[in-house]
Amino acid sequence: MDDVGFGASSSYRCQTVINHVNLITEEIWDHLNRFVAPHGLEVLGVAPDAPMEARCDSYVVETHVEHPHDVRLLRDRVLNSFTLACKAWEAHDLGSYGVPGWRQKTHLIITVTNGYLTIQSAKKRAKHPELVLDFFSLCYTRIRKCVEILHALRVVDPTSVWISRLEKAIEQFHTQIKLVHRRVMEGEKIPNAEKLLSLHAEPTRWIRKGKSMPKEVELGVPVAVIENQHRLILGWEIMWTESDVDMTVPIVDKYTEWFPSLESISFDRGYGSVPNFETLSSRGVQVILPKKGYKNKEERARESTCDRNGVSMRRLNPALTGWNSMGGPGFGPKGARQDLCAVWVQVWWPQTFVGLGGY
């Protein structure tokens, strides 16, 4: 691969690799999975048409964010807008067009930080609500300067990439300050769906699994992982907004199409619902879908039946759950996942980048 700029003797900056990986769409990942998984079976010495059993479970891919505090996020959004406006002013030399400069930039940033520190304590916010209003006023003053830069950019260079970035930052500020006002000043409890949990990792979700675990709440994005009886990962589904129960039918339809030899697939109770069970009962694949809550005699008998290996259907999933808790991808017996990872890196990673024209 050295002739195309990718090989053992090549080196690339971290940001270069990140930029190219960001170009890979979910459709490309699906395309890769459809080729890598059969090759992984070949590495493990499994015939392509051998009967396959799969199981699915989800875990949270945590994003690197602090525990969200709405007042701190408000400060961060002001400073982010302020920083973008400064960079846009310098990039387009707006001073030559008569737009006021940023001689007191450091002072303006310090005043926002000090204003935040005065209301950082919840006890102080409750005792001195006027300090909160003063901080709101200070934030609006700083944002007005950013809006002036935005208007100047639209006049000087309507095609500037800074326009969309500034518009987004200012919009996020207005959304955040409304949320803070509702919670701090009006005493309203903000639903999790409305909260903005991170400045940069926007897809971050507030996930409460309801399990006995060290962290009651996880911040990240849930991912459903599908693997077969050989501990080979067949694929994954990122749930940006969906929950487990929403993914049951799409997962069964997708992976039975990808792998015609798939005979059964098991889920845990989080994926179960009456509509899902009724929909999947007509599929040609055996779907093990435990029911949540009370079960009648027929349902208990169905869940207690055994598969061809003599393993109770309702016990098929805990191993995958244990794998998730012990390290996620890359962990597993007999190096099955490591083999798959090596296959992907050695075979598909270079071709992906070359196909995207990156190297």
Q: Distance between CA 274 and CA 294 in Å, rounded?
A: 12
Phi-psi domain of 231 (left: phi exceeds 0; alpha: psi -120 through 50; beta: other)? left
Band of the pLDDT at 163, cuts 50, 70, 90? very high
Return the DSSP state at 288.
E
What does pLDDT average to over the chain?
Answer: 77
- What pLDDT score was predicted for residue 152? 92
**pTM of the complete model:** 0.70
Higher confidence at residue 284 or residue 334?
284
Angle at 171 between CA 65 and CA 18, to 5 degrees: 45
* Phi, then psi, of 79 in degrees rounded to 5: -65, -35
| Lookup: tokens for 110 | 């310090």
Q: Distance between CA 236 and CA 227 in Å, rounded?
A: 9
- Please tell me which of 62-66, 145-149, 319-323 the model is most confident about, judged by mean pLDDT: 145-149
| pLDDT tens readout for residues 54-100 | 888 888 888 777 777 888 889 999 999 989 999 999 999 888 888 88
DSSP 265-277: EE--GGG--HHHH
| pLDDT tens readout for residues 188-237 | 888 877 888 877 777 888 887 666 556 677 888 888 888 888 888 888 88
Closest CA to 265 of 299, 306, 320, 226: 226
Q: Distance between CA 294 and CA 130 in Å, rounded?
A: 53
- What pLDDT score was predicted for residue 137? 92
Q: Distance between CA 312 and CA 240 in Å, rounded?
A: 32
**347-359 burial by CB neighbour count: b if 16+ within 10 A, else e?**
ebbbebbeeeebe
- What pLDDT score was predicted for residue 166? 93
| Lookup: tokens for 80 | 């982010």
- What pLDDT score was predicted for residue 140? 92
Q: Distance between CA 349 and CA 359 in Å, rounded?
A: 12
Q: Inform me whether the pLDDT recorded for 268 exceeds 70.
A: yes
Contact 230, 41 (CB under 8 A): yes
What kind and span of H or E run contains 236? strand 233-238
* C-alpha distances out from residue 242 to 235, 245, 250, Å: 17, 8, 12
